[in-house]
Each structure stands twice: as structure tokens, then as C-alpha cells.
């Protein structure tokens, strides 16, 4: 009975909106879903490197965020699988694991301290000898001081993954994409706002002042010349003179380099950030120097005061909000989609204990 089927509006066609729409569709296959965005996959989902790294990305004193990251990582394989069954678009999901390399002795100490924190969450993480590490990743510099292997930290290619989600959603026959900005009329109990940084202005008409701020970062894409392929099998993260850097190899031969973070409101890539990234990446993987630069960009993550996302139903209007995923939007999207869709469908009472706990941690603005 499609004519009486419920209808939902998802505002924002980045990874959060698209994943949420997919979860909605899976839960209620006949429901009509409108996805409203003038420029799909144009925000953080366009820029992100796509690491799924609950272990490597742990930061001290963020225990509650780690809970969310671990929980979301558990949901990811099934989410990817369900989408992959409904599209021919490759998702760029890669389960080869992650290395974290330390440049100097102080960086090695940092790595060691982090290892203890990672083990306190019973995550797998093992210090390798340099020769062990270089046997597995020969492109690693011989002049580094330590490598930790994290076999359960993966990656996905966010641009491909979002394209796959769009394709699967379109194939469903019940999802429409509306290429327009959201208006006040789009808000209400059947709507979920997943518009990243754009959520602030959309929600302000409800009197809801969401404290989102843009946290900018330089990100580069490089093409690996044939002579160096495959340059890496795994994601290689690094600490170089206490600066983080990541070098993410795609099966396509593309390399993604990033990790800078600044809150100066400037939305173009800065020379200092690009310099640091290239120097630090080449410190860990010297053949990065020989790669062609195909893109130098700058993206903004939607930052929040406590580094936790906001997933809650705004009681006065009934609108569901799902934004503020900050540095971990790609990883947290699976959990965000599960919680956001449950709130919208009103099935949150059926969630299991871990999800209810996650919802509590995210729902600070309820």
C-alpha cells in the first residue's frame, strides 16, 4: 500500500544522511524517503580520508568517544555488505589493517603510551620490530623508530562509499533526491537533519543554537607512479615530531595524505599545512616524494565542544538531529545512522543496551 506508506525527509546527503536514509529504508522498505541537499557529498564526506580507526584514533581521556567508535566499527561490516548487495559501485572498503609509525624516539614513546591506552580497551595493537614492519610494508623508511600494527583498523573511500549509497538508494524505487536547500517547512517529526556544519543555520529557525564550528584541515590526493605500485597495502599513520600524519593507499593507486587541524576560519589549503603534511609523510614513506599531486584541498569537520556528535529528537518541533561528528564522521556514520533512524522511526525503545548508552552519550541537547 504505497499510498499510505509513511514518508520521511532526510536533510543532508553526506555520509550521515545517506547512511541514515539507507538504515531507514532497510527498516521500512515501503516508506518514501526524500533526501534534500543542493550539493550531495560536498562537505566533510567529500574531503575525508575515510579511515575506520577506533584504535589508532583514540585520544587520551576520551573514553566515552572510544565507546562510540568501537560500537560503530562493529556495525560497519554489515552496513557495507547490505549496500554492496544493492549496487555495482565499489565502496572502497579495505580491511588490510593499519600501521602507526613513529619518527623519532619521543614519537616512539608517544606510540608506546597510546598502546597501553588501546590495550585498556582490549583492542588489538602490537609493537613490531622495524624489520617485521618493513617486510610487510617495504616502502616504510628505514629511519623510523617504531611501528605498531593495528589489524582491526580499516578504511573506506568516502566518495565511492557515498556514491554507492546513492546508487543503492536510487535503486530502491522509494527514495527521491531533491537538489535544493532545506526550508523551515521541511522540519518536523518526520524529518532528520544530517547536514553537518549546515545544520546550525537550518536548526536556528527552531530556536535551537547548535554549537557547531568548522575545524579545517588540509588534505591531498596523489597518484602513485607505476614504478612504486603498490606503494602501501595498509593505511600508514605516523607521529613525526609529535605531529600526526596519515598516508592512505587506495586500491586505485591513489594516495590520500592528511591530518592537519586548525580553527582559523580559513577554507583554503595553507602552505604551512601542506608543507608539514608532505614533509611528515615523506619522513615515514620516502617514495611519497615521487608521487604526482592531483588534488590539494581543505575540508571542514563539524566540531562540537565535547568532541561528541549530537543525535537527539528536538522535543518542541519533533525534528531529529544527527550532526557534529567532528573528526570521526566516517567511522561514526554507521552508529549515527542506526541511532538516528531509530529515533526517527520511533523504534529507539527497541535498541539494545549499547545503543541506548550511545544515544545517551550523544543526546546532550535533548
Using CB under 8 A, list all residues that contact its own copies: 220, 222-223, 225, 266, 268-272, 274-275, 278-279, 281-282, 288-294, 296
Cα separation of 124 and 75, whole Å? 18
For 145, the 3-state DSSP assignment is: coil
Residue 295 CA neighbour count, 13 Å, CB half: 16
Residue-level length of the chain = 366
Query: How near is the Cβ of 268 to its own copies at its closest, in Å?
Result: 4
Which one, 23 or 220, has the nearer CB to its own copies?
Answer: 220
Cα separation of 157 and 346, whole Å? 31
Query: How near is the Cβ of 222 to its own copies at its closest, in Å?
Result: 6
Query: How near is the Cβ of 274 to its own copies at its closest, in Å?
Result: 6
Which one, 52 or 274, has the nearer CB to its own copies?
Answer: 274
Which one, 214 or 324, has the nearer CB to its own copies?
Answer: 214
What is each CA distance from 51 to 203, 222, 238, 246, in whole angstroms? 29, 17, 14, 9
Cα separation of 323 and 79, whole Å? 19
Burial 43-61 (b: 16+ CB within 10 A, else e): bbbbbbbbbbbbbbbbeee
Q: What is the CA 297 to chain-centroid distance, rounded?
A: 17
Query: How near is the Cβ of 288 to its own copies at its closest, in Å?
Result: 5
Query: How near is the Cβ of 229 to its own copies at its closest, in Å?
Result: 15
Task: Give the position of cell 522535543.
Answer: 315
Cis status of the peptide bond prior to 230, with omega within 30 of 0: yes
Query: How near is the Cβ of 266 to its own copies at its closest, in Å?
Result: 7
Cα separation of 195 and 170, whole Å? 20
- Nearest alpha-carbon partner for 219 in 162, 155, 262: 262
Which one, 267 or 350, has the nearer CB to its own copies?
Answer: 267
Which one, 105 or 293, has the nearer CB to its own copies?
Answer: 293
Which one, 272 or 346, has the nearer CB to its own copies?
Answer: 272
Which one, 123 or 221, has the nearer CB to its own copies?
Answer: 221
Query: How near is the Cβ of 294 to its own copies at its closest, in Å?
Result: 7
Q: What is the CA 100 to chain-centroid distance, rounded?
A: 18
Amino acid at each position: 500500500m504505497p499510498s499510505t506508506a509513511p514518508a520521511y525527509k532526510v536533510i543532508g546527503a553526506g555520509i550521515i544522511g545517506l547512511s541514515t536514509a539507507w538504515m531507514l529504508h532497510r527498516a521500512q522498505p515501503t516508506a518514501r524517503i526524500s533526501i534534500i541537499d543542493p550539493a550531495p557529498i560536498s562537505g566533510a564526506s567529500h574531503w575525508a580520508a575515510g579511515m575506520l580507526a577506533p584504535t589508532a584514533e583514540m585520544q587520551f581521556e576520551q573514553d566515552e568517544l572510544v565507546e562510540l567508535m568501537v560500537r560503530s566499527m562493529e556495525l560497519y561490516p554489515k552496513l557495507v555488505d547490505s549496500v554492496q548487495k544493492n549496487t555495482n559501485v565499489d565502496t572502497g572498503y579495505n580491511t588490510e589493517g593499519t600501521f602507526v609509525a613513529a619518527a623519532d624516539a619521543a614519537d616512539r614513546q608517544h606510540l608506546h603510551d597510546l598502546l597501553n591506552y588501546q590495550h585498556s580497551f582490549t583492542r588489538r595493537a602490537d609493537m613490531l620490530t622495524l624489520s617485521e614492519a618493513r617486510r610487510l610494508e617495504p616502502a616504510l623508511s628505514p629511519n623510523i623508530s617504531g611501528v605498531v600494527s593495528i589489524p582491526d583498523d580499516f578504511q573506506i573511500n568516502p566518495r565511492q562509499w557515498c556514491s554507492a549509497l546513492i546508487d543503492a538508494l536510487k535503486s530502491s524505487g522509494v527514495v527521491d533526491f531533491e537538489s535544493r536547500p532545506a526550508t523551515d517547512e521541511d522540519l518536523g517529526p518526520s524529518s532528520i537533519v544530517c547536514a553537518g556544519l549546515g545544520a546550525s543555520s537550518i536548526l536556528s529557525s527552531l530556536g535551537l543554537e547548535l554549537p557547531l564550528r568548522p575545524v579545517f584541515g588540509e588534505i591531498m590526493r596523489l597518484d602513485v607512479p607505476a614504478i612504486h605500485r603498490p606503494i602501501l597495502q595498509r593505511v600508514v599513520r605516523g607521529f613525526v615530531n609529535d605531529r600526526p600524519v596519515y598516508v592512505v593507499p587506495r586500491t586505485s593507486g591513489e594516495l590520500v595524505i592528511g591530518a592537519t587541524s586548525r580553527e582559523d576560519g580559513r577554507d583554503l589549503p595553507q602552505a604551512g599545512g601542506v608543507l608539514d603534511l608532505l614533509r611528515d609523510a615523506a619522513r615515514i614513506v620516502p617514495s611519497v616524494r615521487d608521487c604526482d599531486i592531483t588534488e590539494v584541498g581543505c575540508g571542514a569537520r563539524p566540531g562540537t565542544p565535547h568532541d561528541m556528535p549530537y543525535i537527539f529528537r528536538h522535543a518542541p518541533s519533533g525534528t531529529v538531529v544527527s550532526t557534529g561528528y567532528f573528526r570521526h564522521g566516517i567511522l561514526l556514520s554507521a552508529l549515527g545512522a542506526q541511532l538516528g533512524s531509530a529515533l526517527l522511526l520511533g523504534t529507539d525503545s527497541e535498541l539494545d543496551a549499547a545503543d541506548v548508552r550511545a544515544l545517551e552519550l550523544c543526546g546532550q541537547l535533548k
